[in-house]
């Protein structure tokens, strides 16, 4: 009998030890593990101040979760015994969202200054429990936690205009945010593709502007999106009633999440302008005609010279503010095509009467006027970083998406900023190998890139850094038609960003995060959530040191093993195992794969060709700066030996609207007979081949002579991705420098997704042979 008791006790102890490790995301500020654990059973009770309704909601949230995954119905009981106690106290240095947790075998204490802190303490406790009910032992390891967030704004934006998501799915989205202590749900309700919120004063916004001709199953193309007044033809879309929106706001509030609505203005408003054309500069009754009409042919802007447009927007925002109690209201303000304003008599008259020198100042006038209205209602305005153009509104908060420059500028001016640069905060970008991932808009923001993001730019001093409220990710849904795909695109990147925004900078450690993430991935599987299994791509990178070019191979997966070949043959686990960078002495093609547990997981090898020529490793000087959003391999990308592939986010330097002029000093004079430049066209991503490429040479490095101009022969409307080599061949001569000019197409051509917008020119590898 004694042996049996001893065995059972030993088994119970082993079970506790096996479950001892915790995998909390975000990483708490302080976590001290102790021996033993608190076992939840039918004798466990909870204790709290039942008079505090907010605390009672948190306790209810906790007990309902425990009931779902264990079957135990924890009752409120102030008597002594095994209990979980929640209390509001005055605790220094943890703020309004911080919490303390003490877990002993017979008691769990969760303390905070507010119910918000208690809720986040609950989320940490829940991450120590099973993800689903298995009827196994349910226990929380003994530990002490002290925790509080680094940033006050920890958000994620969901675009419901391009594709609509039902209210219950929006709630599921909010549940995911709450699990990882995110506290802002930015709801992009309005855009050119559809209006998604009931405005009772203007019923046509939901009767007409919320519905479009069904384009289900087609790749997104803004220039082909159509509306139709006949609702039997316009069958795709939807909107949220005011009651549904209020219900979602309340649902989010119960999870410590503030819903920030966005009502786009003055641009991105085609849907609204189609329904109420009198508010635009060039009114046309599109819904009054029969048949389909293109959204891209509708006026995109509210008329800045029309007081009726301002009255409309004030009425809309009045109803919006009655639904959303958020301190902040987002008004968009991005990508305003000012062409209509330049041609509009009312807008030009407004500029004259307000003494505005150009249309940028007219946009500033528009934004300032709307901010004045919001401030009068005791709200604060947020806008995308374009609201800096022409002068920033006095109390505006800037959301910096075109890199960090806008946020830096605003912070230095004393304004609050929220950092959300496309790299790495756009979650509609690829997170793994584009060859195997669902179709996305482009880019390449992997889990590791998200985790390594630092929201406070080094350009800000300590005082200016205080203006950075935090950061958020953005999920634009042009290429995300279903909730399953939306879920896939944020998992597991959202937990990574959550840790960036909650945990201290000093705590962040990629390998440690990766280890803690693994049980969460198991939980996603158990709960049927859709998520990316990981980035299995192998990064092939050049390393130049002492004029020697070497190749480094990298993978984000800490357990991944890389195998490679250099002769162009297919690699396998029998190929060369990568240990360290290897030297390049001649042109070659490297192919690399990643293996986990002796099994190849790469769907296909990563392939990179290296050209070894007389320009390799030489310094490149640009007359016009290349885009900071596509840094590739650094300043000398054009001479690093790497040939650009169809992945435009990786090996290419880019120029938006402008020409590329690159000069390369070859050092000592060399004999040459040809010069070439590689370019790419990706019609769907606004990337087009140059009109022509001019090649020049110099014998002294100062004076240049034109060798040849090569004209592009590939049509701009060709939709398949094209990589073209522009080459100039000439009689052998000795040269010291070359200059290559690629003429940008200028504007995206008619019918393309970026029609009339500035075209992108992507270039890579200048070769001299």
Out of 97, 147, 159, 191, the active site residue is: 191
Cβ atoms of residues 457 and 408 within 8 Å: yes
- Tokens read off for 59: 């306790």
Residue written as token pair 């005791």: 378
* 41 tagged catalytic: no
Cβ atoms of residues 543 and 581 within 8 Å: yes
Q: Spell out the residues 6+ positions from residue 311 whose beta carbon is closer than 8 angstroms to its own.
A: none
- Tokens read off for 708: 């040849």
CA proximity to 399, closest of 383, 376, 410, 414: 383
Backbone angles phi and psi of 514, in degrees to 5: -60, -40
563 C-beta neighbours (distance < 10 Å), count: 22
Element (H, E) at 157: strand 153-159
* 653 tagged catalytic: no
> Going by DSSP bridges, is the β-strand pair 692-698/705-711 parallel, antiparallel, or unpaired?
antiparallel
> Going by DSSP bridges, is the β-strand pair 722-742/692-698 parallel, antiparallel, or unpaired?
antiparallel
Cβ atoms of residues 273 and 300 within 8 Å: yes
- DSSP letter string over 660-709? EEEEEEEEEEEEEEEEEEEEEEBGGGTB---SEEEEEEESSSSS-EEEEE
Residue written as token pair 């085609």: 270
Element counts in the chain: helices (H) and strands (E) = 18, 36
- Provide the sign of the torsion angle of the four alpha carbons 411, 416, 419, 422, taken in this order: negative
* Rg of the chain on CA atoms, in Å: 29
Cα–Cα distance, 455 to 452 (Å, whole number): 10
Q: Spell out the residues 6+ positions from residue 51 whose beta carbon is closer than 8 angstroms to its own.
A: none
Cα–Cα distance, 329 to 322 (Å, whole number): 12
Q: Please list the alpha-helical segments (H only) found in 127-180.
A: 167-179
ω before 671 within 30° of 0 (cis)? no
Cα–Cα distance, 674 to 179 (Å, whole number): 59
Out of 335, 354, 559, 725, the active site residue is: 335
Cα–Cα distance, 479 to 488 (Å, whole number): 12
- Provide the sign of the torsion angle of the four alpha carbons 429, 434, 438, 440, taken in this order: positive
- Tokens read off for 704: 């240049």
Out of 163, 186, 188, 268, the active site residue is: 268
* 268 tagged catalytic: yes
* Residues catalogued as catalytic: 191, 268, 335
């Amino acid at each position: 009998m004694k042996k049996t008791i001893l065995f059972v006790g030993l088994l119970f102890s082993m079970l506790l030890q096996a479950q001892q490790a915790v995998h909390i995301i975000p990483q708490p500020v302080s976590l001290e593990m102790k021996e033993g654990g608190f076992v939840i059973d039918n004798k466990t009770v909870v204790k709290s101040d039942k008079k505090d309704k907010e605390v009672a909601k948190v306790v209810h949230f906790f007990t309902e979760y425990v009931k779902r995954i264990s079957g135990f119905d924890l009752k409120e009981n102030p008597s002594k015994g095994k209990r979980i106690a929640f209390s509001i106290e005055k605790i220094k240095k943890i703020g309004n969202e911080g919490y303390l947790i003490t877990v002993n075998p017979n008691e769990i204490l969760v303390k905070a200054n507010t119910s918000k802190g208690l809720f986040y303490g609950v989320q940490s406790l829940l991450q120590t429990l099973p993800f689903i009910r298995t009827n196994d032992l349910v226990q929380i390891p003994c530990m002490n936690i002290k925790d509080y967030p680094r940033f006050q704004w920890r958000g994620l934006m969901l675009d419901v205009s391009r594709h609509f998501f039902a209210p219950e799915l929006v709630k599921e989205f909010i549940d995911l945010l709450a699990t990882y202590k995110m506290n802002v749900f930015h709801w992009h309700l309005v855009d050119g593709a559809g209006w998604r919120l009931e405005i009772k004063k203007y019923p046509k916004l939901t009767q007409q502007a919320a519905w479009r001709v069904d384009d289900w199953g087609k790749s997104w193309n803004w220039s082909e999106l159509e509306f139709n007044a006949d609702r039997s033809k316009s069958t795709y879309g939807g909107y949220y009633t005011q009651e549904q929106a209020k219900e979602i706001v309340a649902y989010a509030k119960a999870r410590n999440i503030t819903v920030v609505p966005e009502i786009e203005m003055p641009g991105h408003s085609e849907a609204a302008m189609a329904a109420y054309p009198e508010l635009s500069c060039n009114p046309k009754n599109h819904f009054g005609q029969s048949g389909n009409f293109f959204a891209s042919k509708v006026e995109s802007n509210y008329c800045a010279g029309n007081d009726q447009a301002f009255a409309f927007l004030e009425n809309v925002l009045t109803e919006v503010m009655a639904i959303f109690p958020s301190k902040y209201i987002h008004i968009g303000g991005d990508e305003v095509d000012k062409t209509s304003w330049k041609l509009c008599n009312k807008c030009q008259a407004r500029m004259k009467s307000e003494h505005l020198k150009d249309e940028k100042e007219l946009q500033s006038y528009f934004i300032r006027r709307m901010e004045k209205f919001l401030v009068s209602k005791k709200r604060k305005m947020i806008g995308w970083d374009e609201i800096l153009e022409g002068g920033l509104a006095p109390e505006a908060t800037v959301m910096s998406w075109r890199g960090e420059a806008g946020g830096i500028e605003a912070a230095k001016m004393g304004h609050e900023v929220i950092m959300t640069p496309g790299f790495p905060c756009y979650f509609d970008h690829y997170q793994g190998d584009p060859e195997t991932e669902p179709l996305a808009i482009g880019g390449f923001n992997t889990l590791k890139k998200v985790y390594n993001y630092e929201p406070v730019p080094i350009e800000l001093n300590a005082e200016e850094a205080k203006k950075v409220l935090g950061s958020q990710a953005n999920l634009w849904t042009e290429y995300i038609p279903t909730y399953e795909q939306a879920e896939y695109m944020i998992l597991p990147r959202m937990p990574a960003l959550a840790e960036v925004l909650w945990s201290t900078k000093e705590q962040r450690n990629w390998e440690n995060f990766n280890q803690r993430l693994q049980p969460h991935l198991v939980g996603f599987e158990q709960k049927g959530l859709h998520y990316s299994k990981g980035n299995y791509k192998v990064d092939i990178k050049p390393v130049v040191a002492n004029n020697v070019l070497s190749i480094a191979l990298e993978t984000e997966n800490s357990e991944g093993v890389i195998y490679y070949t250099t002769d162009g043959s297919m690699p396998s686990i029998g190929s060369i195992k990568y240990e360290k960078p290897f030297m390049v002495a001649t042109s070659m093609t490297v192919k690399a794969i990643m293996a986990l547990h002796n099994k190849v997981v790469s769907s296909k090898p990563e392939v990179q060709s290296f050209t070894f020529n007389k320009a390799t490793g030489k310094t490149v000087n640009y007359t016009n700066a290349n885009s900071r959003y596509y840094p590739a391999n650094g300043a000398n990308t054009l001479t690093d030996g790497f040939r650009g592939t169809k992945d435009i986010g990786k090996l290419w330097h880019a120029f938006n609207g402008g020409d590329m002029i690159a000069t390369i000093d070859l050092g000592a004079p060399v004999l040459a007979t040809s010069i070439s430049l590689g370019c790419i066209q990706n019609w769907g991503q606004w990337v087009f081949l140059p009109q022509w490429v001019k090649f020049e040479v110099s014998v002294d490095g100062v004076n240049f002579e034109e060798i040849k101009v090569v004209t592009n022969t590939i049509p701009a409307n060709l939709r398949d991705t094209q990589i073209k080599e522009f080459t100039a061949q000439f009689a052998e001569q000795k040269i010291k420098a070359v200059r290559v000019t690629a003429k940008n197409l200028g504007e995206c051509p008619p019918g393309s997704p970026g029609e009339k917008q500035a075209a992108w020119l992507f270039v890579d590898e200048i070769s001299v042979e």
